[in-house]
Amino acid sequence: MATPGRWAAAALLLAVAAVLPPARGFSLPLQRPADCGEARYFDISRLACGPCGAHQRQSAGGSSCVCQPGYKMVSSNGGSSVICEKCPENMSGVTQDGWNCIICPQGLTSEGKCKCLNNEILVERSIDGILLNEALCIRCNGSEQSFSASDASGNRCVRCEQTFINVSKSCDCSSPNILTGGLCFSASESLPPKGVATVRFGQLGITLTSAWFLKNLQSSASACWLYSNLTACQALGNMCVMNMNSLSSSSTDACGLFQYIYVNTARLGIVHSIAFWRHNLPWLYYGDQPGLASQVLEANHFPTIFSFKGTDKDVKLQFIAASFDAAGNFLKWQSLEGGILQLCPDTQTKLNAAYAFGTTYQQSCKISVSKILLDFASPIFYDLFLEYNGDNGQQYLWAVPVLNLNLQYSEMFVNQGSNMNNWLLTRRFFLVDALSGKENDLGKLPRVIRIASKITISIRLVSHTQRGTIYPPLITIAYTDVLVQNPETQSVMVSFSVSYEMNQSEAQIQTDITLGVLGGLAVLWSLLKTAGWKRRTGSSVIDLQTVLKFLLFYAGDLANVFFIITAGTGIYWLVFFKAQQFVSVLLPLPSQEEDFVTYVACAFSLKALQFLQLLVSQLTIDIFFIDWERPKGKVLKAVEGEGVIKSAAAPVSIWRTYFIANEWNEIQTVRKINPLFQVLAVLFFLEVVGFSNLALMDSSSSLTRSSESYIAPWSRILRFGVSAALWLAIAFLQIIFFSVFYERFVEDKPSQFVDLCCMSNISVFLLSHSCFGYYIHGRSVHGHADTNMEEMNVNLKREAENLCSQRGLLPNTDGQTFQISISRKMRLHYDRIHETLTRKRGPARLLDSSANTFEQSTRAYNTMNKFLSSFIDHVHKEMDYIVKDKLLLERILGMEFMEPIDKSIFYNDEGHSFSDVLYYGNETTLLIFDILFFSVVDLASQSFVLAAILTYLQQEIFRFVRNTLGQKNLVTKTLVDERFLI
């Protein structure tokens, strides 16, 4: 039960809810300390601006109030809880802490506090802490006994800078001496030229005066020149690096001053016998003229060997860097492991994978400018080396050259071209420069920052090496200039990569030679095919059709050439790259794979053209089923229109012909392999077993990778090599299985079709060309096939016990399949009958014009059946034929040397080559087309799964087209009713 107190509380809540603005919810206005102005402060509890009290202003930090000049604090609890009191007229100054008033004999600062002259320190309290009525300005003793001056804060006297003492024997640097950068130089000394404190940001078209350069450039150059001050020399070198190591004969910027000192200090000698490394100076250039890059990068080999399988020192690149700050102080030696040069964050394992020898590494991301400014407030400069062990066990360092793409030599970007002889290599580099872009005030945000947006370490293998010898690595850096406007919303894309390459010119020459030789052989083979085709068409005239046919043959043969080259290349790189221990070959770069991808595309295009031509030829063959069955006795038949009954020959059943037509229709797309199993097996081995991992551009030959390890980018050559090898291997195993086991013990469809023809007493007459084709002799040795089950079983038993003659066309032979080369006269006679067989309208030439279309077709069918059966029985002496064996060379070349002028020729064919007009006899073409289709889809999408799905879909689509159109051709050529084809 609700109490009166609860009802009162609920009513109060409802009243408060009614007062709240419904649209605001839980929102508040955004205010920053900079928005508050002088008379207000930023209240950190309310996150909003609040007013300061009387005689108060905003503090330097902005989060509290302080007294105005001439007022002292009486109490302060932070924020606006400050009470101020005006100082007396005779004590108008305020102490440094703001709590007391004091007399200032030398005047006030803008903040109302006491000030002193240079080399004086301010004293407001006695030694025991008692506040003085009048502040004291005590001058530091700059005489020879003490050489003291006030420090930067002006609170105590310290020993003055040594250059003051050296020049003036005091702490004053009065004229004519020169004061710059906090250092004092004598006017009588030979100083370097006056430096230009500007930094060029070429990408933005901006040249600005850098506060850092303005403060430190001249002093660093002078100290380096006069005193060989090591830190000053390093600082000068760093400023040159911040200016992109750019050189110009007319400029005295940081690099100009460095070069001036470098040239004029040759007497000091060199360091570590390196001609480009001068004593006391940092090593910035490999010479001051372009053209030395080829000597630096190729004249010497790196004095150690690498392998894919071995100890850490053999399989990892031991990079180490000497790091310096902007002021020239040496920081430390540090290994690159841990992501020192990788701006993109990642796990330790993946970051360190960049230095595993043979692993192509790629990393990229987008980083906000605000994070860059936070993480890289001060630039760090690196001199990079590659560590190795000498013969005596001593550790040595090999300097790694830098190719700065932003470097300008005489206003030209000499490092952006591909000609190595124009490059100007350097040594030192940085990742982020947020210092040189600061104008006027070093405490404020820079106007421009410079970021190493693209870093690439290139490793080149020495040609013909068998022991993993490499040339010195090269680090290529491209910098991006960013104009800082809104750091929170601005971002920049950065990348880091490690690439491996070797001279591929020899491999390219070998590929070109192979392509030339095999291409020439393909031309000869295509000419032989064209000659055979001309013989089979019965034509000897070279016309446009002949040229087109040659081009089609050549397209198919050239596709095989391209496939052999690409498959061989892919498998070669797969085996020799992944299986090697001591490195002798490296994968081509992605840019070097373009020719390979072009070859694959050419192979696919040409093979697709051959495949379509194959489909067209199979869909236009001439085919006829010869029925040898003869009528059994006579039957009485009423004559229509005459009212009389006459005896006639008993009709022969058409069902056997329909049955053979259905069987032929079924085997049109039967292949020597199972296409679905082929696709699934390839996909299983690639994605489940893990063979796809062999296509990664790393040294590992493992089929499994952990989720924590770095996954290298794919090699298109290796992807093609792995997939092609699996396709060929699985297809080869399938063909062996089907030919050795399945077709021998389960079913052999072509052979069973021949047996079925014999049992059905039907022969098959095929013409794939005008004067060439195939013949399947299906005449039953029992005379009749249209019989009951009992008689059929008796006939089969007699045949099994050799109680009847053999099935062959010739007596006492078993040869039932033939390649036939028919005479021109035979073809013309066939065409005359066939024209009537396929006519649907108009008068017939061989039949009564008054008969309807169905009767014409029926009579034409009977005529063709009678003609072909009589032709097989040698009835037509003017169109007779002979039976012979093909010569071995004829079998090899796939052509016939003899021309059937007077007599047709039947060639014994034990290989059932009539399957050439079916899918079954063209498995090589179909398999290569499937492989190329799969590979093209994969190379375009980088997805084996998508490639497998699309490959299976195209198989089914073309199988459907082949079945549908093949069935229509069968109906047209054989007069089999389409309704009886299942």
Q: How far is CA 825 from CA 664, 832, 925, in A?
A: 28, 11, 34
Q: Quick check: 434 and 372 in contact, CB under 8 A? A: yes
pLDDT at 300: 87
Q: What angle do CA 383, 386, 389 make, to 5 degrees?
A: 135
Cα 650 from Cα 784, distance rounded (Å)? 14
pLDDT at 453: 95
Q: Which 8-state DSSP code applies to residue 982?
A: -
CA 159 to chain centre: 62
What is the pTM (predicted TM-score) of this model?
0.80
- Those residues with Cβ within 8 angstroms of residue 365's Cβ, 6 or more apart along the chain or in another chain: 343, 344, 345, 493, 494, 495
Q: Quick check: 450 and 480 in contact, CB under 8 A? A: yes
Phi/psi-derived region of residue 60, left when phi > 0, alpha when psi is between -120 and 50, beta in every other case: alpha
Q: Enumerate residue ranges in the chain where pLDDT < 50.
A: 1-4, 6-7, 9-10, 12-24, 840-851
pLDDT at 299: 85
Q: Quick check: 764 and 660 in contact, CB under 8 A? A: yes
Greatest alpha-carbon span in the chain: 158
Residues 8-26: b if buried by 16+ CB within 10 A, e if exposed: eeeeeeeeeeeeeeeeeee
- Those residues with Cβ within 8 angstroms of residue 715's Cβ, 6 or more apart along the chain or in another chain: 360, 573, 587, 593, 695, 696, 697
Cα 635 from Cα 217, distance rounded (Å)? 123
Closest by CA to 968, choosing from 654, 618, 609, is 618
Q: Quick check: 130 and 95 in contact, CB under 8 A? A: no
The helix or strand, by DSSP H or E, that contains position 248, with its residue range, turns out to be none
Closest by CA to 579, choosing from 733, 729, 721, is 721
Q: Quick check: 136 and 116 in contact, CB under 8 A? A: no
List the structure tokens of 834: 């066939």
Cα 37 from Cα 33, distance rounded (Å)? 8
Q: How far is CA 589 from CA 297, 356, 493, 549, 714, in A?
A: 18, 17, 22, 39, 11
List the structure tokens of 36: 């508050």
Q: Would you report the helix, strand and coil content of the chain in percent, each value rounded to 5?
A: 40, 20, 40
